[in-house]
Amino acid sequence: MVGGGLGDIEEVLAAGRRLERAGHRLLLYRRPGRPLPRSVDGPWDWPRVERRGRILRRAACALTITPAWGVSAAPTRPGPLGRGGPWEVEARDVERAYGPDRTLHVSLEEFARTLTVLRETRERLREGGVPARALARGVARARRGHEVDAFRVAFERFRAFDRPNVLHLFATFAPDGAFAREFPAAVQVGPLWPHRYPGRPGRRARARPREWVWYASPASAEAIAPEVVRGLAGARPPVRLLVRSPRPWRTALPPGRVEVIQGPYDARAWQDRFARAELRIVTGSRTLLEALEAGGPFLYFNGVLGHGRRRRRHRPEKAEALLALGRRAGRSGSLLRDLADFARGRRVAAVVARAARRRGGWSRFPHPFGRVAFPAPYDDAGAVIAAAARALADRGGDAAGIVRAIRAGSKG
């Protein structure tokens, strides 16, 4: 995991499932004596995969999938923060076995994090607690103190943009031209869709009894949980809430109305309840994409920091990208305000009550919620990965040339 949640693992597996559908053979290679990183064994919805402790060259080329290759698989280097990633050894073994030109590394970067260096600087200060009124002065000081330039150098280094055979995919809903100009090695693409919930909304809408599900990954989910329960209190027929938390849950909630599942949970059982839920409260990027794919009402909460007037959103770019997607599609202003306030941890009980009673924009929740603003095939990260694998197989190599061609195509 690169972030704090489990989405990095699921995203790699989603890429694996896409490659499996395209007819490729999948391997999970880990050297003997090196245990897998925490949580990798699941339980997950695994594609068909062969586990290997050594490399047997049975093909001309190899393609690897990692979250943020420059963090999770880059080699050890001199200087501060130079320790290699947890998949450093395996990535090096693959490249030695096949050669750099016959090895293409796909790097899945953080969803919707396509910020210029100046925007990254502002966001770093905001999330660090600098008040809104002081942000402009803070950014100006950072520029004078060369912090902005230092960040740019570090970002390019620790994303490994200098590696010609690494394909860096930044998935989001719409391209950002300024980010593309600042980091030409970055390839912006549409989401890596889960492909789990096609054609479900009609069947789910008739399901009874009423149930909401909540993937409550952020620690601050417990801070708003009592308000969520209060908002559901007057719903008729009553709504049962399933809370799934990957971390220990300490907040007491009414046991007759709320079920809390802590730690690992069977992937297929979760998918079934997620598919049948009347409304889903989601976080991060993977469950957000699942909610968008499944259709039907959802709320988004990626966590908050601080308390009272100092409360601020954690990593808000995903929520902002979602709201921009809705605005481009002309979605109801009241619905977008409810989504925005819930994401901020504001008006939680009121928003939940409106959603449960299907008031305003909740009366007919739009499906699809919006459409990504990329031309094909860049509208689908899975299609880009499959195309890269196909090109590598067809050419029998030329990983750097394939990466250059995909980068150039993404610029239009």
The CATH number corresponding to 202-362 among 3.30.1300, 4.10.280, 2.40.128, 3.40.50 equals 3.40.50
Q: pLDDT averaged over the chain?
A: 93
Q: Per-residue pLDDT for 213 more than 50?
A: yes
Q: Per-residue pLDDT for 402 more than 50?
A: yes
For the stretch 5-31, pLDDT in tens is: 688 999 999 999 999 999 999 999 999
What's the one-letter identity of residue 103?
Answer: T
pLDDT at res. 113: 95
From residue 20, give the alpha-carbon distance in Å to each of 86, 105, 109, 162: 25, 17, 21, 29
> Mean pLDDT lowest for which of 145-154, 193-202, 218-227, 383-392?
193-202
For the stretch 87-118, pLDDT in tens is: 999 999 999 999 999 999 999 999 999 999 99
pLDDT at res. 310: 79
> Mean pLDDT lowest for which of 146-160, 186-200, 384-398?
186-200
pLDDT at res. 1: 58
Q: Per-residue pLDDT for 165 more than 50?
A: yes
Q: Per-residue pLDDT for 2 more than 80?
A: no
Q: Per-residue pLDDT for 298 more than 70?
A: yes
Q: Per-residue pLDDT for 204 more than 90?
A: no
From residue 66, give the alpha-carbon distance in Å to each of 109, 232, 233, 362: 9, 40, 43, 38
Q: DSSP letters of 340-374?
A: HHHHTT-SHHHHHHHHHHT-GGGTT--SS------
Q: Per-residue pLDDT for 206 more than 70?
A: no
For the stretch 65-79, pLDDT in tens is: 999 999 999 999 888
Tokens 């719409």 — which residue?
Answer: 174
pLDDT at res. 384: 98
Percentage with pLDDT > 70 across the chain: 96
pLDDT band at 345 (very low <50, low <70, confident <90, very high): very high
pLDDT at res. 197: 86
Q: Per-residue pLDDT for 56 more than 80?
A: yes
Q: Torsion-angle region of residue 116: left (phi > 0), alpha (psi -120 to 50) or beta?
A: beta
Beta partners for residue 311, in sequence order: none
pLDDT band at 309 (very low <50, low <70, confident <90, very high): confident
Model pTM score = 0.94
Domain residue ranges in the chain: 7-109+159-191+377-410, 202-362
